[in-house]
Amino acid sequence: MNAYRNNSSTAGMPSNLADVPNSPIPYGRQCIDQEDMHSVLEALSSDYLTTGPKVAEFENALAHKVGTAYAVAVNSGTAALHCAMYGLGIGPGDEVIVPSITFAATANCVVYRGGIPVFADVDPHTLLLDPEKAEAKITARTKALIGVDYAGQPCDWDALHALACRHNLSLVADSCHALGAAYKGRNAGTLADVTAFSFHPVKHITTGEGGMVTTNSRETAQRMRQFRNHGISADHHTRAQEGTWCYDMVDLGFNYRITDFQCALGISQLKKLDAFLHRRREIAAWYSQALLDADRVAPLALNKNVQHAYHLFVVAVQGTHPADRRRRLFEHLRQAGILVNVHYIPVHLHTYYRHHYETAPGQCPSAEDAYNRIVSLPIHPGMRDSEVARVIDTLMNFSGQL
Ligand SMILES: *Cc1c(COP(=O)(O)O)cnc(C)c1O
């Protein structure tokens, strides 16, 4: 049993909505307690609201937790991905291979650098980037690969690493779903040259908005720190020589700084990560067990040698003509107050990419087929046992009609 089971996600709010039988169950939600609130209040009354001691403290705590040498905190997961692209030297005309099933930010970060995202298809059973499909997209201009640990399941990082080595590519992990996941005993955050995490409220831990990049390269970490602060050199040597007013903007960067009160929340949340993961895995186990008895809907496949972090619990409608049946399942669950979602519309099908990068339907058949089948069930650490049971009952009762 863990502390978050019956500790309602609405703790601290005046009315306990989770007690109402048909109250909405979101697919994801933050879990904030008194300790978190206290940490934020303490930071608010300190001397630093931003760029103070809480930022380094959060970076060190996360680096220690995942087992990486360097961590750079920024103000979103998208900023983390942008920093990763800059840190690895991705620039105009460079091609970067990304999976088609992901959030748009995975591809957008390449475009921010003037690069070209090249969409590769996913494995139909896991929806993770297929290393063979990725290899087929490599050209003389390819500079990097971004693997997405979709739903919280790590990619086949050994295969992606071998591919990156063979073709001299940088390897990036979009682990925005996967804080706390592991692959062959190695933690997410250590599986690629640079890893990006997000602290959006639906993710494993939250800072409201926020993100982090991890790396073992001192030089890459240094570049990303500079990029987070307008491209201003953090070289204290010149400051000491020229005068303390002196600073130098050596390259174009952004203001991607995160505040101290957000980092205070992150530090407090990180202490609860293991309990959060335990509860997510417990809910996933109940869903998986129940779905053994359903023949028209099934969870995505689980690879060997991984510890899944279950940011999402994705089920797929089985058999022919799935789109119509998926729509009916989605609408039935929504009407029952179970706020399922679909993750994701294949990125290459978005108007922007079709207009500017000449992508089109048919380019990633497994991703496009999966898109017609998938539904993300609610999963978050504040979910009560009764809510999990309600999702299972509603799903199982309807699955016979699919
Ligand atoms: C959440 C997420 C992001 C972006 O994170 P933000 O913090 O919302 O900017 C990027 N990639 C994936 C796969 C995500 O789930």
Distance 401 CA to ligand 1 centre (A): 35
Distance 176 CA to ligand 1 centre (A): 6
- For the CA of 199, the closest atom of ligand 1 is 7
pLDDT reported for residue 326: 97
Encoding tokens for residue 279? 């509860």
Angle between helices 385-399 and 273-291 (to 10 degrees): 30
pLDDT reported for residue 16: 44
Cβ partners under 8 Å of residue 28, min gap 6: 201, 202, 203, 311, 312, 378, 379, 380
Of 54, 65, 203, 272, which is the active-site residue? Answer: 203
- Phi and psi torsions of 347, nearest 5°: -65, -35
Distance 85 CA to ligand 1 centre (A): 15
The CA distance from 377 to 146, in Å, is 26
The CA distance from 312 to 27, in Å, is 8
Atom 6, ligand 1: residue with shortest CA distance: 77
For 272-284, b/e burial (b = at least 16 CB within 10 A) is: bbeebbbbbbbbb
Ligand 1 contacts (CB < 6 A) are: 76-78, 102-103, 105-106, 148, 174, 176-177, 198, 200, 211
Mean pLDDT by 10 residues, the chain (402 residues): 42 44 89 97 97 97 98 98 98 98 98 98 98 98 98 98 98 98 98 98 98 98 97 75 82 98 98 98 98 95 97 97 96 97 98 98 98 98 97 94 88
CB neighbourhood size of 98 (10 A): 27
pLDDT reported for residue 238: 64
The CA distance from 50 to 308, in Å, is 34
- For the CA of 102, the closest atom of ligand 1 is 13
pLDDT reported for residue 402: 87
Per-residue pLDDT reduced to its tens digit, 137-171: 999 999 999 999 999 999 999 999 999 999 999 99
The CA distance from 100 to 79, in Å, is 20
Mutate to test the pocket of ligand 1, among 82, 103, 148, 343 (most ligand atoms within 8 A of CB): 103
Distance 172 CA to ligand 1 centre (A): 14
- Phi and psi torsions of 286, nearest 5°: -65, -45
The CA distance from 170 to 98, in Å, is 12
Encoding tokens for residue 54? 């809480």
Atom 5, ligand 1: residue with shortest CA distance: 77
The CA distance from 267 to 260, in Å, is 10
pLDDT reported for residue 245: 78
Name the DSSP class of 179.
T
Atom 3, ligand 1: residue with shortest CA distance: 77
Residue whose structure tokens are 């390449």: 110
The CA distance from 192 to 201, in Å, is 25
The CA distance from 157 to 145, in Å, is 11
Whether 199 and 207 have beta carbons less than 8 Å apart is answered as yes
Per-residue pLDDT reduced to its tens digit, 336-369: 999 999 999 999 999 999 999 999 999 999 999 9
The CA distance from 157 to 173, in Å, is 9
Whether 74 and 225 have beta carbons less than 8 Å apart is answered as no
Quote the pTM value: 0.94
| CA-wise closest residue to 107 among 364, 311, 324 | 364
110, HSE (Cβ side, Cα atoms, 13 Å): 24
Whether 368 and 349 have beta carbons less than 8 Å apart is answered as yes
* DSSP per-residue string spanning 381-393: TT--HHHHHHHHH
- For the CA of 311, the closest atom of ligand 1 is 15
Atom 14, ligand 1: residue with shortest CA distance: 176
- For the CA of 200, the closest atom of ligand 1 is 7
Name the DSSP class of 69.
S
Encoding tokens for residue 5? 């089971």
Distance 60 CA to ligand 1 centre (A): 22
392, HSE (Cβ side, Cα atoms, 13 Å): 18
Does 203 participate in catalysis according to the annotation? yes
Atom 2, ligand 1: residue with shortest CA distance: 176
- For the CA of 148, the closest atom of ligand 1 is 13
Return the H-helix or E-strand segment holding 195: strand 194-198
- For the CA of 81, the closest atom of ligand 1 is 10
Distance 105 CA to ligand 1 centre (A): 6
Atom 15, ligand 1: residue with shortest CA distance: 176
Distance 324 CA to ligand 1 centre (A): 28
The CA distance from 23 to 17, in Å, is 7
Mutate to test the pocket of ligand 1, among 155, 177, 200 (most ligand atoms within 8 A of CB): 200
